[in-house]
Amino acid sequence: MSVTMRVLQQYNVKFEKEFMELEKKFAGLEVRRPDFKKGKRLKPISAIEPCNTLIWEGEFPDLEAAKKWLDFLGGDPEHEELFVRQAPYFKQVKIEFYENLEF
């Protein structure tokens, strides 16, 4: 069963420019480093989440692989350096897992 993981990062809208500049650097890691999962980034236009939310979405073969990916990120120095710089702009962060239905 494959799983989609979504990381929802609501940020302080006053710092949207700074937040998004750092997010571009995270996206750059995905392009530059083959050990990084390439995800899709979304920003709500009309949704249950407020417009000042960035959603990172990625598909994994199973829940265990998604959890290992989160562990990898927490231990990667380059990711952590960017995370520390971006964290002051967060209002809240949620992580969701979805079972991908294949009928």
Give the helix/strand (H/E) hosting 15: none
Name the strands in the sheet holding 53-60, side by side, starting at the edge strand that comes first in the sequence. Answer: 40-42, 53-60, 3-11, 90-99
The model's pTM is 0.92
Q: What is the average pLDDT across 6-29?
A: 98
pLDDT for 19-76, tens place per residue? 999 999 999 999 999 999 999 999 999 999 999 999 999 999 999 999 999 999 999 9
Given this model, what pLDDT does residue 102 score?
A: 87
Q: How confident is the model at residue 88 (pLDDT cuts 50, 70, 90)?
A: very high
Given this model, what pLDDT does residue 1 score?
A: 87
CATH number of the domain encompassing residue 62: 3.30.70.100
Which residue, chain included where needed, has tokens 């927490």? Answer: 74
Per the structure, the complete domain to which residue 81 belongs is given by 3-99
Does residue 82 contact residue 9 with C-beta atoms inside 8 Å? Answer: no
> How many domains does the chain fold into?
1
List of residues 6+ apart from 35 with CB closer than 8 A: 72
